Structure 1
């Protein structure tokens, strides 16, 4: 996705807030409640952010009602904008170590 596309996605209402809130895995309902965003809008924004690879599906745990729910987490740690020689966007991904630790923790908690 190009710089202009990333800027456009981040400029949409609620997207930056959803990314900020998704530093830890959360469901669409949790994000909707926390940010006071209508649930249908929250799902649309989640789809935009996942298409832009800024947010990713983290897990599909069972809910208390024994249904699978989707839990999302941001895929980037930071977004850096530069204006030298035109607009530039640099995405700083979450560290591989942090991702591995999350994976180990999730595996242990399922046991």
Structure 2
């Protein structure tokens, strides 16, 4: 049964909810280059369980993406995450919030990766 909400309203709620949580902005800032949840947890100095919860919320909101998997130092397969946006603007002047996103391009991701090497 539908709640009567549009996809846009649901997306707005999901994005605002994800951004409103503690550490979400820090995770997005740290995820400019591909990083595992463990690396993000260590960089930001937050508990790994909290980091995983925030990552899931940010992925659901479309602000973070899983770029693939790699082997950890302990030989386990781990997901690698990177933010999908560089800027996000929220306009509250209407009845529903409106978002303007500056998405990261693949070219920018590749350049960032080269600079990190």
TM over 0.5: yes
Q: Please identify which structure carries the higher strand content.
A: 2
* Distance across 2 between alignment mates of 1:5 and 1:61: 28
In structure 1, stretches of 5+ residues that fail to align are 106-111
Backbone CA RMSD of aligned residues: 2.2
Select 2:32's aligned residue among 20, 23, 47. 23
Q: Measure the CA separation in 2 of the matches of 1:33 and 1:82.
A: 33
1:54 aligns with 2:58: no
Q: Deviations over 1:19-55 (max 9, x none)?
A: 0110011111111111111100100110101111110
Structure 2 contact 14–60 (Cα < 8 Å) conserved: no
Q: Determine whether 1:89 maps to 2:85.
A: no
1:69: Cα distance to partner?
Answer: 1.2
**Greater mean alpha carbon deviation, residues 17-26 or residues 79-88:** 79-88
The alpha-carbon deviation at position 74 of structure 1 amounts to 0.4
Partners of 1:52 and 1:60 lie apart in 2 by 21
| Deviating 4+ runs (over 3 angstroms) | 83-86
**How far apart in 1 are the matches of 2:106 and 2:81?**
17
- Indicate the residue corresponding to 2:108 in structure 1: 98
> Deviations 1:39-90 (Å, cap 9, x if unpaired)?
0010011010111111001121122333211110001111012234343211
Aligned residue for 1:109? none
